[in-house]
Amino acid sequence: MAKLQGLLWTGLVLGVLLLLDATYRQTFHDSSAALSSLFQKTSCGFTDFVFKVIDVGSLWLVVLIPVYCYATEGVKTGVPMLVTAIVSSGLNGVLKVTFHEERPFWEYGEVTAIKCTKGWGSPSGHSQMCAAVYGLFAYYAYTRNQKPLMWALLAGIVLVGYDRLYLGVHFYNQVALGWSFAAVTVCVILCLKLEKEKKLTWLLAASCLFTLFCFAIISFNFAFTDPYWERTWSYRLYTVTPI
């Protein structure tokens, strides 16, 4: 019952954020760009390097945590972790081509893409995938009374969100949406009651098929729609902002 309530609450929060995003998007973008610009004014070579490492390392953990869970705890923990990572990846790609939302360094000249990234911006892929995988792992840590690990994982989610703003590749509304979609994904996984190995096998197969379907949608989008971002973002990327 508690898991179902969690799903309902996270779904409600997601709905509210989507409504706010549609209504106040430009306001969010303006204030977020100012925030990213402020962060970047205090940057230096060392901090730039640290956040570039976080940019890469956080996604490696999205892969390594499910593999670790599968190797050490078997299918009952490993498969839900794998499914969460796979589904989050495919879902994020579809959401990005659906929202068609720009990134800060394209729209605002005062924001530098310290770690240059092309492609649509909403929701943040790093934020969504890391929050989903770290969040589910934090739940397992909580159930095992491993509180330090749980808090470290939750802190990692926040750090990745800050990283996206610091690097100038996402607005904070895009980060918040990534977290919200991740929370819904985790709650759905927890509500499925995955005790039987046969059910876990079917879930893993279904998640792979779902992700293949998502990537087919993404490929179709880029093949048959006008990729105007290549003309605009590429110009900003290669002639205005440093690589």
Residue pLDDT, tens place only, 48-94: 899 999 999 999 999 999 999 989 888 888 889 999 999 999 899 89
Candidates 87, 81, 41, 38; CA nearest to 63 is 81
Using alpha carbons only, how large is the chain's radius of gyration in Å? 18
State residue 24's pLDDT score. Answer: 93
Write down the pTM of the prediction. 0.88
**What residue ranges do the domains of the chain occupy?**
2-219
In this predicted structure, the answer to whether residue 183 has a pLDDT above a threshold of 90 is yes
Higher pLDDT, 112 or 145: 145
Residue 225 has pLDDT above 80, yes or no: no
- Give me the pLDDT at residue 109, please: 81
Choose among 77, 40, 43, 65: nearest CA to 157. 65
Mean pLDDT: which of 106-120, 125-139, 195-209 is highest? 125-139
Separation CA 15–CA 10 (nearest Å): 9
DSSP class of 9: H
- 3-state SS, residue 101: coil
What pLDDT does 242 receive? 40
Q: What average pLDDT does the segment 33-52 reach? A: 88
Hey, how many other C-beta atoms are within 10 angstroms of the C-beta on 64?
Answer: 12
Collect all residues with Cβ–Cβ distance below 8 Å to 53 and sequence separation of at least 6: none
Q: What is the reported pLDDT for 44?
A: 80
Q: Are 158 and 211 in contact (CB under 8 A)?
A: no
pLDDT at 113 over 90: no
CA distances from 188 to 82, 113, 207 (A): 14, 34, 13
Tokens of 235: 């110009």
Name residue, tokens 């779902």. Answer: 210
Closest CA to 177 of 95, 79, 57: 95
Q: Minimum mean pLDDT among 93-107, 130-144, 165-179: which range?
A: 93-107
Residue 100: what residue type? H
Q: What is the mean pLDDT of the chain?
A: 85
Residue 240 has a pLDDT of 45
For residue 226, what pLDDT is reported? 55
Among 1-5, 8-12, 63-67, name the one with the lowest average pLDDT: 1-5
What pLDDT, on the 0 to 100 scale, is given for residue 156?
96
| Lowest-pLDDT choice from 1-15, 104-118, 135-149, 174-188 | 104-118
Higher pLDDT, 122 or 3: 122
Give the mean pLDDT of 182-192: 90
164 close to 148: Cβ distance less than 8 angstroms: no
Query: Which residue has tokens 């499925």?
Result: 192
Q: Please tell me the class of the 2-219 domain.
A: mainly alpha
Q: What is the average pLDDT across 107-117? A: 80
Q: Provide, rounded to the nearest whole percent, the portion of the chain with pLDDT above 70.
A: 87
Q: Looking up tokens 């739940």, which residue turns up?
A: 139
Residue 238 clears pLDDT 50, i.e. is over it: no
